């Protein structure tokens, strides 16, 4: 195993070798028990373990004793029944496979002197644990108390198959394994597949080579022992256990949503058997513990997602209304990098890009062209994308997220040397052959360079953030279109539609609406366009618009209707103040205007009316327009009502 995210060639060979082992049909059982396979039609024994050879081919009814009904065990499917055989007590367990009743007999285990903790009490105590790491450690401690095994470990598995000892309870003289990782080949895929259907497996002695199964008919197919309690173990695994100092183990599945997410493994330094009923009880505890693990993980994920959602909301709140969404994002660059756990970022929107934090010293356009817009992530760019490595020197992590059709977000992480703690030296020096198990399982530290911290769940979160930014950009575009529908493109003032809407709203919301409307028209503006050109005329209009806006309150609405016609709606202004405001606006228009064609001077005629006596916005504007024409007829450059 090269590290926690890559599988080297030797590890691949071990995984392939594991697949070839017939672990479902080994043809042997562990020799402490007896196995009989029975034809349900005749109740004849058709397969038996060699240590029960004398019964092979005989009806199971001949094994009748005064104390048990053998046929009654056939329907119990896994629940043990105490029986007596040749004067000794056995636990009888049955299941059906391949049209055969498989009857397994385990000598009853005396548990005198062992701690006998109630699984119900253990589940109750574990139910009070609120943290994931604590739950794994406490589960190991509870199972150790119940079983008396020397060491109990709780494993968790990662997406790539390797695992970690996430919880442990062990005797004080034993080397601790807590926090150590192990490669996928320690528990290969076909073994994990068995654990999905067989919830526990006991290996009583690593020195036991097992007892062969004997069939009455050579044509009898190999017996599938997937569900058997006594299934023998491969010699490779027995050697593995002996190298770990384990003489016996019992393991229990942790299954969620059809996937093996972990295991509880009990290990002892001498041969040791765990009673069947205790195994069944711990199977229940394992299932309950898995549910609790999933619940705690869900709660932690929910809290994390709620926190992310709140922080994203703050980050994106200004985007839809921002004049420039790219600059709005860059202005909050620190919060963005903290949110995604990156050292630097490049944000590109509508072909314009900006950088945040630490980014490669490379031409930004060239880098973006090389990266492209397809979403991907890597924490080892030199290995996965060697063509990009030279462009982002000093950085090992790269994540690209789409911002929809308008842009892309590129995140960078610097190289970070990591130390991984392994359960045993993972190099070839710790194996007799590449396919042999490790000789030593003492902690071995591997330093991994050339990589950044893994993106992990952050990749999913960044993709979600990208979708939210894309949505904000879409809303920004919609807001711009809506704004354009209400704004005069030349001056940036409100247009007639916006003006009428504001006046109609004022007329509708007040019993006696207050305010005035002023209509101002430039005198002789056509001559400016004809003599100096429309570009100069446009410059004059923009200057007049700026002067009018500067002279009005923030609550006033300044608009341009068309050509050189300007209208101001001043809510709350009374008729007595209208003359002063109108006169101030006319005086501002009279001031000289500097243009590329020299100084230009214009004047303005202004008319105003109160809105209180009007029935509609159109009526108000028409009345103000009429007042303005009275001013023009009166000599221009003046105010009229």
CA atoms within 13 A on the CB side of 546: 9
Tell me whether residue 564 is one of the annotated catalytic residues: yes
- CB-CB contact of 338 with 356 (8 Å): no
Q: Among 297, 394, 303, 410, which Cα is nearest to 353's?
A: 410
Residue 632, CA atoms < 13 Å, CB-side half-sphere: 13
Q: Which helix H or strand E contains 314, and what residues bound it? A: helix 276-316
If you count them, how many residues does the chain have?
641
Q: Give bridge partners of residue 97 from the DSSP assignment.
A: 100
Number of H helices, E strands in the chain: 17, 27
How would DSSP label each residue in 378-437?
ES-HHHH-HHHHGGGTTEEEEEEEEBTBTEEEEEEEE---EEEEEES--SGGGBSSTTSP
How far is the CA of 2 from the CAs of 312, 451, 530, 630, in angstroms?
A: 37, 13, 80, 91
Bridge partners for 617 per DSSP: none
Crossing angle of helices 276-316 and 119-126, rounded to 10° = 10
Cα angle at 588 between 582 and 589, to 5 degrees? 90
Task: Report how far apart, in Å, the C-alpha atoms of 589 and of each of 282, 531, 569, 602, 629 are.
Answer: 90, 19, 18, 7, 17
Burial category of 223 from C-beta neighbours within 10 Å (exposed 0-12, middle 13-18, buried 19 and up): buried
From the candidates 208, 564, 596, 622, which is the catalytic residue?
564
Which residues are identified as catalytic? 564
């Amino acid at each position: 195993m090269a590290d926690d995210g890559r599988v080297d060639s030797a590890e691949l060979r071990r995984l392939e070798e594991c697949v070839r082992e017939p672990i479902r049909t080994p043809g042997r059982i562990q020799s402490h028990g007896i196995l009989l396979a029975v034809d349900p039609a005749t109740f004849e024994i058709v397969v038996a373990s060699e240590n029960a050879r004398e019964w092979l081919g005989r009806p199971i009814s001949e094994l009748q004793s005064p104390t048990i009904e053998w046929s009654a065990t056939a329907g119990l499917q896994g629940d043990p029944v105490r029986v007596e055989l040749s004067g000794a007590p056995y636990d009888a367990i049955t299941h059906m496979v391949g049209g055969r009743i498989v009857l397994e007999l385990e000598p009853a285990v005396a548990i005198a002197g062992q701690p006998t903790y109630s699984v119900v009490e253990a589940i109750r105590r574990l139910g009070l644990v609120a943290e994931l790491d604590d739950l794994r450690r406490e589960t190991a401690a509870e199972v150790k108390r119940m079983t008396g095994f020397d060491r109990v470990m709780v494993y968790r598995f990662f997406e790539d198959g390797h695992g970690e000892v996430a919880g442990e309870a062990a005797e004080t003289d034993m080397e601790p394994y807590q926090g150590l990782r192990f490669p996928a080949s320690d528990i290969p895929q076909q073994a994990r597949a068995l654990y999905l259907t067989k919830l526990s497996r006991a290996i009583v002695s690593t020195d036991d080579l097992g007892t062969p199964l004997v069939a009455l008919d050579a044509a009898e197919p190999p017996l599938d022992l997937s569900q058997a309690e006594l299934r023998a173990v491969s010699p490779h695994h027995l050697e593995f256990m002996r190298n770990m100092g384990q003489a016996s183990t019992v393991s229990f599945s942790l299954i969620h949503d059809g996937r093996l997410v972990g295991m509880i493994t009990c290990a002892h330094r001498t041969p040791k058997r765990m009673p069947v009923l205790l195994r069944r009880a711990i199977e229940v505890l394992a299932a309950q513990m898995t549910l609790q693990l999933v619940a705690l993980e869900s709660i932690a994920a929910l809290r994390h997602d709620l926190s992310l959602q709140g922080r994203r909301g703050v980050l994106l709140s200004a985007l839809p209304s921002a004049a420039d969404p790219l600059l709005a994002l860059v202005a909050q660059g620190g919060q963005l990098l903290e949110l995604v756990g990156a050292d630097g970022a490049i944000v590109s929107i509508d072909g314009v890009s900006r950088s945040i934090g630490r980014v490669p010293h490379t031409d930004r356009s060239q880098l973006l062209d090389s990266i492209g817009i397809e979403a991907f992530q890597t924490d080892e760019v030199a290995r996965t994308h060697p063509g990009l490595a030279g462009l982002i020197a000093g950085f090992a992590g790269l994540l690209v997220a789409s911002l929809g059709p308008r842009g892309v977000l590129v995140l960078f992480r610097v190289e970070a040397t990591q130390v991984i703690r392994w359960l045993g030296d993972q190099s070839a020096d710790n194996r007799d052959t590449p396919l042999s198990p490790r000789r030593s399982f003492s902690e071995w530290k591997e330093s991994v360079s050339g990589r950044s911290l893994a993106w992990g769940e952050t990749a999913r979160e960044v993709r979600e953030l990208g979708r939210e930014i894309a949505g904000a950009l879409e809303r920004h575009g919609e807001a711009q279109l809506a704004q354009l529908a209400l704004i005069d493109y030349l001056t940036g003032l409100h247009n007639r539609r916006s003006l009428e809407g504001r006046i109609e709203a004022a007329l509708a919301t007040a019993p006696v609406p207050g305010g005035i409307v002023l209509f101002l028209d430039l005198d002789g503006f056509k001559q400016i366009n004809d003599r100096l050109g429309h570009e100069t005329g446009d410059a004059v209009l923009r200057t007049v618009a700026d002067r009018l806006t500067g002279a009005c309150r923030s609550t006033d609405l300044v608009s341009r209707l068309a050509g050189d016609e300007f209208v101001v709606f001043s809510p709350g202004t009374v008729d007595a103040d209208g003359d002063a405001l109108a006169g101030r606006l006319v005086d501002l228009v009279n001031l000289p205007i500097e243009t590329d064609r020299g100084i230009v001077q214009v004047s303005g005629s202004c008319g105003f009316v109160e809105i209180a006596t009007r029935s509609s916005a159109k009526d108000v504007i028409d009345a103000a327009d009429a007042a303005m024409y009275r001013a023009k007829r009166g000599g221009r450059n003046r105010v009229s009502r």
